[in-house]
Structure 1
Amino acid sequence: METDGIPGIDPASAPSGEGCAECLAGAAPGWWFHLRRCATCGHIGCCDSSPSQHATRHARESGHPVLTSFEPGEDWFWNAETNEFMEGPAMSAPTERPAAQPVPGPAGKVPPDWQQRLH
């Protein structure tokens, strides 16, 4: 998809949820450090520091290479094919995880030794 002349970004795509879709669906280990949003379809996945790295896996498997942060105060874009930051348009709301969603998250699923499990 191409919007505003930027391949792979659809600003109108809605986020798939409030947390990593795969982790919330029960994919082990079921928790994340930070969240990323697919700029093409809105899929929410966990970052590459998270144990499962679902956002980058989605980018590679779906052919949607551009990710954006789903964290408060962050508005950057990352191309998972070229491994480069890039500029992008404002995305549709919500543009960040809910304030009640802790980092790491989700609440009640994060192991006590989570810092040792980061990539």
Structure 2
Amino acid sequence: MTDIKGIDPSVPPSGDGCVECDAAGGWWFHLRRCAQCGHVGCCDSSPGQHASGHFRETGHPLARSFEPGEEWFWNFETEEMFEAGPQLAAPESHPRSQPSPGPEGRVPADWARTLRR
């Protein structure tokens, strides 16, 4: 356990995609991982905005990008980004073979038009 509020580096991610989008057959633009419990949700540009919804429901303040090659954290309480933080349990991102937006086969042809800004 780390001494940073909202981070438990021993907890693995909940899966390869957004928990709620997967359950509903939806799609996402980019993924975020809760640094406290490992919940994987979609970003605020995604139709479902499940990562920020997870924060509102649980109060877990920190999320890390779950995109390959990205290591930044977002603090929902302060609305601040941090370029790096402690290493979290593997895997650090969704599989590189999984496209963004994703997952393959569920992204509508007009996906860019439906992004939230």
Q: TM-score range by the shorter chain?
A: over 0.9
Listed one character per residue, the Cα deviations across residues 51-78 of structure 1 (whole Å, up to 9, x for unaligned) are: 1100010011111010000001100111
**Structure-to-structure mapping, 1:71-82, within 5 angstroms:** 71-82=67-78
Cα RMSD over matched residues?
1.1
Measure, in 1, the Cα distance between the counterparts of 2:105 and 2:27: 9
Percent of aligned positions with the same letter in both sequences? 62
The CA deviation string for residues 83-114 of structure 1, in whole angstroms up to 9 with x for no partner, is 01134201110000012211100111100000
- Residue by residue over 1:15-50, the C-alpha shift from the partner in whole angstroms, topping out at 9 and shown as x without a partner, is 0000000000016xx100000000000000000110
Preserved CA contact (<8 Å) 1:33 1:50: yes
| Correspondent of 2:16 among 12, 18, 35 | 18
Q: Quick one: distance in 1 between partners of 2:56 and 2:78?
A: 12
TM-score for both structures, normalised by structure 2: 0.94
**1:63: which partner in 2?**
59
Alignment coverage as a number of residue pairs: 115
List 4+ stretches of structure 1 deviating above 6 A.
none
Quote the Cα distance in structure 2 between the aligned partners of 1:109 and 1:12: 31
CA distance in 2, matches of 1:94, 1:85: 21
2:114 maps to 1:96: no
Q: In structure 2, what is the equivalent of residue 112 of structure 1?
A: 109
Give the match for residue 8 of structure 1: 6
Partners of 1:77 and 1:104 lie apart in 2 by 20
Task: With the length of structure 1 as denominator, give the TM-score of the two structures.
Answer: 0.92
Q: Show structure 2 runs of 5+ residues with no match.
A: none
